[in-house]
Chains A and B, each alone.
With several copies, the nearest count.
Chain A
């Protein structure tokens, strides 16, 4: 069912999601979103190479999708409750601004430009030192600028590694959840080769619990946790 259709270049996770939904010719709804979850995760895989710094943004949406999907898979496990603004609402809002941006582009390209006058510069009679431009003011202002110039571009590598791993875990837990009803936390850790991965698995599980309200049961302290696929 995963279509191999090539999408236009997408600018971000919401853009990708919108394109996927529109490709299926569906209106934006929770059902439509859960329908395209698999495609979304597929694109997530392709992202790793050149757009890894955007991964975190895509993961936020991916977790919401996985939650939606699991809720459609096992609706009886979810109480009927309003848990705030949904991803569908968010996407609908986003779409409104995308539509508006097309109109803005038309205005921009119309080349109707208003001009101000060019007032000939007026030279003051003598030099006046502004009250707030002493050496101490310059110094303070320069320190603030240097602090602000701290590079903002890429996420630290550690964060990227971390998000990639969380992403894999979300995927593998999601797959396990899809194929089985129950599993033990130990099973999830079976393939962990170091402590970091154990932590990551636990984080991923928490993420799922938080977002999907997947239930985790433990009989006694330190005993294995049973993860109920939700």
Chain B
């Protein structure tokens, strides 16, 4: 069977976000081949009327239902309640969405406040995750695929004004002299 077909199968059975690395390992094919196959699946699934959508969160991929069919889906699963976001939560999530992966000092420079508690709080809600980067002394933070699912967005790049606001390197440059 083709890589494309096998990829489609494991994304279907996984029922959770799979990292690029994990996919390559399970299918045992070179990464370039996976990259191409994922692109093909994206064009196959992510059309406005598709019932199944592929969500990409940085290097994680998950097959999910089309957010516009939420009501139909909730006949078969327990409705997930988004719950309210407080202002600091919303503000922090916004910055992490557009600028992630981002370190805590960068986030704090941008927001002008200490962010330890709010990050802990967002991680507890499963909206933000910490990533220990072995090449970097500081852990970075990024949003989770669960958060994207709740937002009904297939990819961070689909967020409004993403290109302008994803000026991560500019932010780092802007404040490194702080």
B73 at the interface (CB under 8 A from A): yes
* Interface window among A142-150, A161-169, A191-199: A142-150
Set A121, A146, A152: member contacting B165, Cβ < 8 A = A146
List residues of chain B with CB within 8 A of the CB of A89.
Answer: 174
List residues of chain B with CB within 8 A of the CB of A127.
Answer: 126, 146-147, 150
Contact A12/B111 with A104-B90, A113-B70, A115-B13 known, Cβ cut-off 8 Å: yes
List residues of chain B with CB within 8 A of the CB of A14.
Answer: 111-113
Contact A115/B112 with A143-B165, A149-B171 known, Cβ cut-off 8 Å: no
B132 vs chain A, min Cβ distance (A): 12
B80 vs chain A, min Cβ distance (A): 6
Contact B70 A112 (CB under 8 A): yes
**Contact string, B63-95, partner A, CB cutoff 8 A, digits 1/0?**
111111010011001001111110110110111
* Interface window among B19-27, B29-37, B114-122: B114-122
B174 vs chain A, min Cβ distance (A): 5
B147 vs chain A, min Cβ distance (A): 7
Contact A116 B177 (CB under 8 A): no
A118 to B114, CA, bound (A): 18
List residues of chain A with CB within 8 A of the CB of B65.
Answer: 114-116
Q: Which residues of A are interface residues toward B (Cβ below 8 A)?
A: 11-15, 54, 56-57, 60-61, 84-85, 89-90, 93-94, 96-98, 100-101, 103-105, 107-124, 127-139, 141-147, 149-153
Which residues 146-178 of B sit at the A interface, judged by CB distance below 8 A? 146-153, 159-161, 164-165, 168, 170-171, 173-175, 177-178
Contact A97 B95 (CB under 8 A): yes
Contact A117 B13 (CB under 8 A): yes
A136 to B160, CA, bound (A): 8
A90 to B123, CA, bound (A): 26
Interface size on B, as a range, is 35 or more
Q: Which residue of B lies closest to A104 (CB)?
A: B94
Contact A124/B159 with A97-B91, A105-B85 known, Cβ cut-off 8 Å: no
Set B62, B70, B125, B173: member contacting A116, Cβ < 8 A = B62
Contact A114 B149 (CB under 8 A): yes
A115 to B62, CA, bound (A): 10
Contact A134 B151 (CB under 8 A): yes
A123 vs chain B, min Cβ distance (A): 7
Contact A112/B91 with A124-B82, A130-B82 known, Cβ cut-off 8 Å: no
B38 at the interface (CB under 8 A from A): no
B98 vs chain A, min Cβ distance (A): 5
Q: Which residue of B lies closest to A101 (CB)?
A: B94
Contact A146/B153 with A11-B113, A104-B93, A108-B85 known, Cβ cut-off 8 Å: no
Contact A141/B112 with A117-B15, A122-B124 known, Cβ cut-off 8 Å: no
Set B84, B113, B123: member contacting A130, Cβ < 8 A = B84
Set A111, A138, A145: member contacting B111, Cβ < 8 A = A145
B110 at the interface (CB under 8 A from A): yes
B105 vs chain A, min Cβ distance (A): 13
Contact B64 A115 (CB under 8 A): yes
Set B62, B110, B152, B170: member contacting A112, Cβ < 8 A = B152
Contact B165 A114 (CB under 8 A): no
Contact A115 B77 (CB under 8 A): yes
Contact B165 A96 (CB under 8 A): yes
List residues of chain A with CB within 8 A of the CB of B53.
Answer: 114
Contact A139/B161 with A93-B171, A94-B110 known, Cβ cut-off 8 Å: yes
